[in-house]
Amino acid sequence: MIGLGDLGVVRSVAPAADGVLEVEITPTFLGCPALPAIVSAVRDVLAGSGHPDGRVRQVLSPPWTTDRVTEAGREKLAAHGIAPPPPASPGGPVPVVLAAVPCPHCGSRATRPHSPFGPARCQSVLRCTACHELFPYLSAL
Amino acid sequence: MTTSTDQAPADEAARADAHLAVHLLRLGDDALVLGQRLCRWITRAPTIEEDMALSNIALDLIGHARTLLALSGEADGTGRTEDEFAFTRSDREFTNALLTELPCGDFAVTVARQLVYAHYAVLYYEALADRADLRLAAFGERAAKEVAFHRTHADNWALRLGLGTPESARRMQRGLEQVWPYAAELFDEDEVTRHVVAAGTAPSPAPLHPVWQRRVGEVVTRAGLTVPTPRWRAGGGRAGLHTEEFGPLIADMQSVHRQFPGGRW
């Protein structure tokens, strides 16, 4: 549904100093349980595109934030029922859940936080008071 | 003793790294042991949302431990992985603060411990982001954001329980009384800390203690509760001296590795 590039997890793809192709990734959360699967998926792509010795390197700085999700990525998330984070905001304090996250099902803005911790570490759960659906939200960070 | 001029700086660097390795091990063990402890709540939390909250917090903490322990293995030159640290050490080799290994108790005790630890972790990881060596600072910058979620979670529950029913307030106060003597150890400074501060590789937690006291004090007061004034304080975790309940905790954590050493799935 959404690629690692659109999610902002892949930071760069370039040859390292020794000439080996290197993919830099930044985990969303440090304890993200999908990380080993992400690394092995990237290795598969590297091998499949003629770089079997390609490397995956984890880079922590600057840290991943929801600002790294691309516009196309936001649309893909919404299309799959996951409310995307609000547009990138330079600086300033970031609220844990913004007041008006539109419901990905009916579009209503009458939604309220339900649980700050959701089905995946990068998601929280909101409830739509119009269509009464619970939906995941890629928490602004 | 060496007198060679080019040998001396190398020795000094190795010593600095050895101190950093111990310091990282302490931080990593705090996160690992608390993460393992919190897993006790999975399928036992008061609500499904709380089940997810505590398991997500545990997941974050174990993620922090993985990074910190791996960095420790690099710093001490052994190249040990996070799994080797977690699964192949004996209890005396763990250097977590005793706070993190205390049994979960009732929900209020767990909230009280989260309050103590999350407020400390936000302060310390922010300090890392500010004043640690490059990779550790990158970790601190990211981890500070994650533990800020844990702090909000703990603050909200402390307020809700403190301002809830007489029974919830009584239990929350009792939870605070139980964990408070264990808080000071998080801020202890010793020779290892002084060395990493002198080498500029990591900051000391000691100067953060007054800020921590003010911040948790505000939450406790807002919750209508009393900040405990314990007459004793715990210590010894950094030297590998643990409480009685620690043995079963790591036995549980290491059981799969002991049955299938080096197993891969």
- Prediction pTM value: 0.90
Contact status of B133 with chain A (Cβ, < 8 Å): no
Measure the CA–CA gap between B83 and B135, rounded to whole angstroms: 20
DSSP assignment letter at A88: P
Q: Which of B135, B137, B142 sits opposite A30 (nearest CB)?
A: B142
Q: Is residue B265 part of a domain?
A: no
Q: Is residue B154 part of a domain?
A: yes
Q: Is residue B125 part of a domain?
A: yes
Q: Is residue B250 part of a domain?
A: yes
β pairing state of A134-138 and A111-115: unpaired
DSSP assignment letter at A87: P
Q: Is residue B3 part of a domain?
A: no
Q: How confident is the model at residue A119 (pLDDT cuts 50, 70, 90)?
A: confident
pLDDT reported for residue B8: 58
User: pLDDT per residue over B8-18, tens digit each?
Assistant: 566 767 776 99
User: pLDDT per residue over B87-146, tens digit each?
Assistant: 999 999 999 999 999 999 999 999 999 999 999 999 999 999 998 788 899 999 999 999
Question: Has residue A39 got a pLDDT over 80?
Answer: yes
pLDDT reported for residue A91: 53
pLDDT reported for residue B2: 41
Q: Which of A30, A118, A125 sits opposite B67 (nearest CB)?
A: A30
Count of beta carbons in the 10 Å neighbourhood of residue B215: 18
Q: Which residue has the higher pLDDT, B88 or A92?
A: B88
Residue A31 and residue B59: Cβ atoms within 8 Å?
A: yes
Measure the CA–CA gap between B186 and B98, rounded to whole angstroms: 9
pLDDT reported for residue A90: 55
Residue B149 and residue A114: Cβ atoms within 8 Å?
A: no
Average pLDDT of A44-60? Answer: 93
- Cβ atoms of B121 and B82 within 8 Å: the answer is no
pLDDT reported for residue B174: 98
Q: Which of B63, B149, B153 sits opposite A30 (nearest CB)?
A: B63
pLDDT reported for residue A86: 77
List chain B residues with pLDDT less than 50. 1-5
CATH number at residue B64: 1.20.1260.10
- Cβ atoms of B240 and B92 within 8 Å: the answer is yes
Contact status of B222 with chain A (Cβ, < 8 Å): no
Which residues in B lie closer than 8 A to residue A115 (C-beta atoms)? Answer: 49, 52-53
For residue B149, the chain A residue with the least C-alpha distance is A96
| Kind and range of the H or E run holding A124 | strand A123-128
Q: Sheet harboring A111-115: ordered strands across?
A: A111-115, A123-128, A134-138
Measure the CA–CA gap between A96 and A120, rounded to whole angstroms: 15
Contacts of B2 (CB under 8 A, 6+ apart): B8, B11
Most confident range, picked from A95-109, A110-124, B113-127: B113-127
- Cβ atoms of B150 and B202 within 8 Å: the answer is no
Which residues in A lie closer than 8 A to residue B61 (C-beta atoms)? Answer: 31
DSSP string covering B141-171: HHHHHHHHHHHHHHHHHHHHHHTS-HHHHHH
Q: Is residue B212 part of a domain?
A: yes
Q: Which tokens belong to B154?
A: 């703990």
What separation in angstroms does the CA of B248 have from each of A108, B33, B91, B100, B117? 50, 12, 10, 14, 22
Which one of B52, B66, B74 would you mutate to disrupt binding with A, by most A Cβ within 10 Å of its Cβ? Answer: B52
Which domains, ranges and CATH numbers included, belong to chain A?
4-58 (3.30.70), 69-138 (no CATH)
Q: Which residue has the higher pLDDT, A105 or B4?
A: A105
Burial class (CB in 10 A: 0-12, 13-18, 19+), A67: middle
Structure ipTM = 0.81
The type of residue at B197 is V
Phi, psi of B47 (to 5 degrees): -140, 165
How many folded domains does chain B comprise?
Answer: 1
Residue B130's domain comprises: 13-259
